[in-house]
Amino acid sequence: MSKLITSGCGISQRDFKHYPIWVHFPTISHKLKHISIGGPAVGNEYIGRTCKKHILENLDVEAVIVQWTSIGKLDLFVENENTLDEIKDFNLRNFVVDMNSSVVNHRGFWPSSNSSDNFIKELYNNNFKSKIYDHIKDLEYILDIQTLCELHGIPYYFFFGYEFDFEFIRNTSELEHLYKSINWNKFMTRTPMYALYQNSDEYKLDIFDKDPRYMSPNSAFQISFYIKYIVPILNERFTPTNFDITRLENHCINLAKEMKNK
- Cα–Cα distance, 79 to 129 (Å, whole number): 22
Is residue 202 assigned to a domain? yes
125 within some domain: no
For position 162, which CATH number holds?
Answer: 3.40.50.1110
Q: What's residue 92's pLDDT?
A: 81
Q: Is residue 114 part of a domain?
A: no
Q: Which positions ≥6 away from 244 have C-beta within 8 Å? A: none
Can you give the pLDDT of all 262 residues of the chain as single tens digits? 899 999 999 999 999 999 999 999 999 999 999 999 999 999 999 999 999 999 999 999 999 999 999 999 999 999 999 999 988 888 888 899 999 999 999 999 999 877 777 888 888 888 999 999 999 999 999 999 999 999 999 999 999 999 999 999 999 999 999 999 999 999 999 999 999 999 999 999 999 988 888 999 999 999 999 999 999 999 999 999 999 999 999 999 999 999 999 8
Which helix (H) or strand (E) is 256 found in, with range? helix 245-261
Q: Which domain covers residue 7, as residue numbers?
A: 3-73+130-256
Neighbours of 205 (CB within 10 A): 20
Q: Count the Cβ atoms, other than its own, within 10 Å of residue 59.
A: 12
Number of domains in the chain: 1
Residue 224 resides in a domain: yes
What is the pLDDT at residue 186? 97
Nearest to 194 by CA among 232, 163, 239: 163
How far apart, in Å, are the Cα atoms of 141 and each of 34, 69, 133, 145, 215?
22, 12, 13, 6, 24
Residue 89 maps to a domain? no
What are the backbone angles phi and psi of residue 171, rounded to the nearest 5°?
-105, 15
The pLDDT value recorded for residue 160 is 97
What's the pTM value of the predicted model, to 2 decimals?
Answer: 0.95
**Residue 16 near residue 246 (C-beta atoms within 8 A):** no
Classify residue 110: in a domain, yes or no. no
| Residue 84 domain-assigned (yes or no) | no
